[in-house]
């Protein structure tokens, strides 16, 4: 998954304003105690981060 697709899905699920706030502020144990942005910056694959977001945040099946 490309980062552009990752962010498109984030914006669609959370809304444009909250998606970036969630990604930079919400620490997730499933990401090793990192935020979404920290995980991406640390080299996690966007598809793996997206799977964690889907599993923990109730993302609709249409966006998975």
Contacts of residue 42, Cβ cutoff 8 Å, sequence gap at least 6: 34
Per-residue pLDDT band at 64 (split at 50, 70, 90): confident
* Prediction pTM value: 0.89
What pLDDT score was predicted for residue 4? 96
pLDDT (tens digit, 9 = 90+) per residue, 13-54?
999 989 999 999 999 999 999 999 999 999 999 999 999 999
* pLDDT score recorded for residue 62: 74
pLDDT at 39: 98
């Amino acid at each position: 998954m490309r980062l552009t697709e990752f962010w498109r899905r984030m914006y669609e699920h959370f809304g444009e304003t909250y998606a970036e706030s969630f990604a930079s502020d919400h620490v997730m144990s499933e990401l090793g105690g990192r935020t979404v942005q920290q995980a991406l910056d640390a080299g996690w694959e966007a598809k793996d981060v997206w799977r964690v977001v889907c599993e923990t945040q109730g993302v609709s099946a249409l966006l998975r």
